[in-house]
Structure 1
């Protein structure tokens, strides 16, 4: 009986190697979280400065943190979409 493992494979049965393009898409969640954190930190810094206009420092910091956090998330999302569009090329 012939050992099957030593036999040469039939050329028609060989696997064919094909190159496929790899799409490198950004992770949207990480972009949004990073944009929100940076925006909140920037908002806290802006709110902690003098001249709150009649609001307490904590209230001003909270308002600015929410506003800047939302703007940071929007900006980071827009950047992620642009990077995603570019990765399709």
Structure 2
């Protein structure tokens, strides 16, 4: 909760007391940033895996990088979305 103190003007009230108002603050992760970061990291890992192995017959190195990178990018985005959902649940417990 966020505490905000409001003070009245001295001439408005006879004793100008402080009043504390509580506003709920909802903290949530930015889902789009989590998903994009997961996809980029997944693609990088996929590219590293594709370049470290031997070339498959009938496929170039670039094709392997794109295919494996795309598969791991989708997996990384899904995993990052799950992590973001779990963080949202943990941060917004009451």
Band the TM-score falls in, shorter-chain normalisation: 0.7 to 0.9
Question: Which structure has more helix as a fraction of its residues?
Answer: 1
* 1:51 Cα offset (Å): 2.0
Secondary structure at the aligned position of 2:23 is classed as coil
Query: Structure with the greater relative contact order (CA < 8 A, sep ≥ 6): 1 or 2?
Result: 1
* 1:22 Cα offset (Å): 1.8
- The total of aligned residue pairs comes to 84
Q: Which runs of 4+ in 1 moved over 6 A?
A: none
- What corresponds to 2:42 in structure 1? 39
Q: TM-score, normalised by structure 1?
A: 0.80
- If you compute each CA radius of gyration, which structure gives the higher value, 1 or 2? 1
- What corresponds to 1:74 in structure 2? 78
Q: TM-score, normalised by structure 2?
A: 0.76
Q: Give unpaired runs (5+ residues) of structure 1.
A: 1-5
Aligned residue among 50, 54, 58 for 2:53: 50
Question: Which structure has more strand as a fraction of its residues?
Answer: 2
Q: Give unpaired runs (5+ residues) of structure 2.
A: 1-8
Secondary structure at the aligned position of 1:64 is classed as helix
